[in-house]
């Protein structure tokens, strides 16, 4: 009887899981394991909101495995010695996993693969979390893409949707005495800031499948227009499920391929797939330019005139007390739910980097700690794009005006009303600029804008222009 270890990481699902499937095809017994070693992902070990999600998702994975006759073995500490201990305890001959692409994880996995092979084990890794490996899409000159549109044109043309691999019905599991209870990983918050999360999210494979089903039946036809309106559920909210691998992008591509029937749905599906394409592009960039999680992709920005780091400014932004309603609504939605609408992410990021002049890394770090979908590739790309230092970045002269953006995309003010309840009594034509209502700020108990939007915009334009001409 041969035994394999399947090392679960951010592929917390049984459907469309190539590592699990290959292990089950080649071995009689399988030990599914989760090894907790956050320090090996430094300096980007999972933040507080991600840890919350991970706890729930591991609980869900264990429950699904138990229905198949196995259970998730949990251990903590350095991964290689932990794997070696498990190999001895189970007499496993092989280890299987699905690949991840963050620089620290690639380095760690490369060492582990080589060490285990030198120990005489079979080691197999697979692509489960991207449509294409980051190195599979290249320009005609065999260089990485830095612009999204040609990247996605090439990738889209090569994409062949396929049905997902079915989940196993039965797993001949193994039980080891020294499994760590999940609670011992300390992933749950010690003070209950997560109350709002439970109402919004259902982490785990079943929750991901439900979100996809709802999106395909209720939202896909309106996606192209509704995706920009933060007061609606016009987007899929699949990002944390994708990040933790509770659903694969191929499952999504296949579902859209099967279910988008009308011309409207097909147009929505095409737009939606291009957002999945942005996810692919982010991974492509981080793989080829691994320094960009900390450094500007565009080196001209190394000499950019950022304002002096200001803890007070930063805290007001973090707490949603900037005095700019749509910015505050976004920051409070983030705090309450661990998620923020994409349009509003762009606005709050632009406000921090352009109006307040703070370095994009301050924002990236706050998002990292507070987003349930915090993803090194997408977060780095999102912040560098908005700050102007990244690939295919917003041109320097495009500085979002949060007031006009609010008036355009939250025209009734419902999004602001929901997250900034002090402003609830204001009319649609007042709510994005409460300082213009006589006595309005005092009546609502809301702060005045922490910065003059026009003056800070002009200052930012001058600094960006200088960098663009350098
Ligand atoms: P949908 O519109 O339903 O899109 C479907 C999927 O496509 C998403 O789940 C996501 O996986 C992917 N996607 C969509 N837009 C983007 C994008 N611009 N870049 C990369 N992938 C995308 N996304 C993250 O997943 N993690 C992050 O840490 C993250 N940080 C961001 C930081 C900033 C400053 C900005 C501007 C954007 C960031 N994004 C991040 C991208 C985007 O905001 C979210 O992916 C999106 O809001 C998730 O909501 P959704 O699942 O409903 O999206």
Q: What is the DSSP string of 168-215?
A: PS-------TTPPPGGGG--S-SS-TTHHHHHH---SHHHHHHHHHHI
205: CA distance to ligand 1 center in Å? 19
- Percent with pLDDT over 90 in the chain: 93
Q: Which tens digits make up the pLDDT trace of 394-441? A: 777 779 999 999 999 999 999 999 999 999 999 999 999 999 999 989
Strand partners, 33: 7, 73
Q: Which tens digits make up the pLDDT trace of 135-190? A: 999 999 999 999 999 999 999 999 999 999 999 999 998 889 889 999 999 999 99
- pLDDT at residue number 173: 85
Confidence label for 469 from pLDDT (cuts 50, 70 and 90): confident
Best CA proximity match to 10, nearest among 80, 110, 99: 99
pTM value > 0.95: yes
Q: Does the N-terminal peptide bond of residue 43 adopt cis geometry, omega within 30 degrees of 0? A: yes
Q: Which tens digits make up the pLDDT trace of 41-81? A: 999 999 999 999 999 999 999 999 999 999 999 999 999 99
- pLDDT at residue number 409: 98
- pLDDT at residue number 17: 98
- pLDDT at residue number 237: 98
- pLDDT at residue number 107: 98
Pair 419, 336: CB distance under 8 Å: yes
The mean pLDDT of the chain is: 96
Please tell me which residue, 192 or 281, carries the higher pLDDT value.
281
Q: List the residue whose alpha carbon is closest to atom 52 of ligand 1.
A: 237
Q: d(Cα 44, Cα 38) in Å, to the nearest integer?
A: 9
- pLDDT at residue number 418: 98
How far, CA to CA in Å, does 158 sit from each of 127, 132, 138, 161, 171? Answer: 16, 9, 12, 10, 34
Q: How many residues does the chain have?
A: 470
Q: Is the CB of 383 under 6 A from ligand 1?
A: yes
Q: CB neighbours of 228 closer than 8 A, spacing ≥ 6?
A: 234, 343, 409
342: CA distance to ligand 1 center in Å? 6
Pair 358, 351: CB distance under 8 Å: no
DSSP label at residue 291: G
379: CA distance to ligand 1 center in Å? 8
- Closest atom of ligand 1 to 215 CA is 3
Q: Is the CB of 345 under 6 A from ligand 1?
A: yes
Task: Indicate the top mutation candidate among 223, 373, 377, 391 to test ligand 1's pocket, ranked by most ligand atoms within 8 A of CB.
Answer: 373
- pLDDT at residue number 398: 79
Confidence label for 381 from pLDDT (cuts 50, 70 and 90): very high
- pLDDT at residue number 350: 96
| pLDDT at residue 467 greater than cutoff 90 | no
| pLDDT at residue 256 greater than cutoff 80 | yes
| pLDDT at residue 392 greater than cutoff 80 | no
30: CA distance to ligand 1 center in Å? 34
């Amino acid at each position: 009887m041969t035994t394999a270890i399947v090392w679960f990481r951010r592929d917390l699902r049984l459907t469309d899981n190539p590592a699990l499937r290959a292990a089950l095809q080649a071995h009689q017994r399988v030990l599914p394991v989760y090894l907790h070693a956050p320090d090996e992902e430094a300096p980007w070990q999972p933040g507080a909101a991600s840890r919350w999600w991970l706890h729930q998702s591991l609980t869900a994975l264990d429950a699904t495995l138990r229905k198949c006759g196995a259970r998730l073995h949990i251990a903590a500490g350095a991964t290689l010695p932990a794997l070696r201990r498990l190999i001895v305890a189970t007499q496993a001959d092989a280890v299987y996993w699905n690949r991840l692409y963050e620089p620290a994880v690639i380095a760690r996995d490369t060492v582990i693969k080589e060490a285990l092979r030198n120990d005489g084990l079979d080691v197999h890794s697979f692509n489960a979390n991207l449509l294409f490996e980051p190195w599979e899409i290249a320009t005609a000159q065999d260089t990485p893409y830095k612009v999204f549109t040609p990247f996605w044109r090439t990738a889209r043309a090569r994409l062949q949707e396929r049905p997902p691999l079915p989940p196993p019905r039965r797993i001949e599991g193994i039980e080891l005495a020294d499994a760590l209870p999940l609670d011992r990983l300390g992933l749950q918050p010690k003070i209950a800031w997560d109350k709002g999360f439970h109402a919004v999210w259902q982490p785990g494979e079943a929750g991901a499948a439900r979100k996809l089903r709802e999106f395909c039946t209720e939202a896909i036809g309106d996606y192209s227009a509704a995706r920009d309106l933060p007061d609606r559920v016009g987007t899929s909210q699949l990002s944390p499920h994708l990040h933790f691998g509770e659903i694969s992008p191929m499952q999504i591509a296949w579902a859209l391929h099967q279910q988008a029937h009308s011309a409207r749905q097909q147009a929505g599906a095409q737009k939606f797939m291009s957002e999945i394409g942005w996810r692919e592009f982010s991974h492509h960039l981080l793989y080829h330019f691994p320094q960009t999680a900390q450094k500007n992709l565009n080196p001209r920005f190394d000499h950019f005139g950022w304002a002096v780091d200001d803890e007070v400014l930063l805290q007001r932004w973090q707490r949603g007390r900037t005095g700019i309603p749509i910015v505050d609504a976004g920051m409070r939605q983030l705090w309450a739910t661990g998620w923020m609408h994409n349009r509003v992410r762009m606005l709050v990021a632009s406000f921090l980097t352009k109006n307040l002049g703070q370095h994009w890394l301050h924002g990236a770090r706050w998002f990292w700690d507070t987003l349930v979908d915090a993803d090194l590739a997408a977060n780095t790309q999102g912040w560098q794009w908005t700050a102007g230092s990244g690939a295919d970045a917003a041109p320097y002269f495009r500085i979002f005006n949060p007031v006009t953006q609010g008036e355009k995309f939250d025209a009734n003010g419902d999004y602001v009303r929901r997250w900034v309840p002090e402003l609830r009594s204001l009319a649609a034509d007042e709510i994005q600029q409460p300082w213009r209502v006589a006595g309005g700020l005092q009546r609502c108990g809301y702060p005045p804008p922490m910065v003059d939007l026009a003056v800070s915009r002009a200052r930012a334009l001058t600094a960006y222009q200088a960098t663009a001409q350098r």
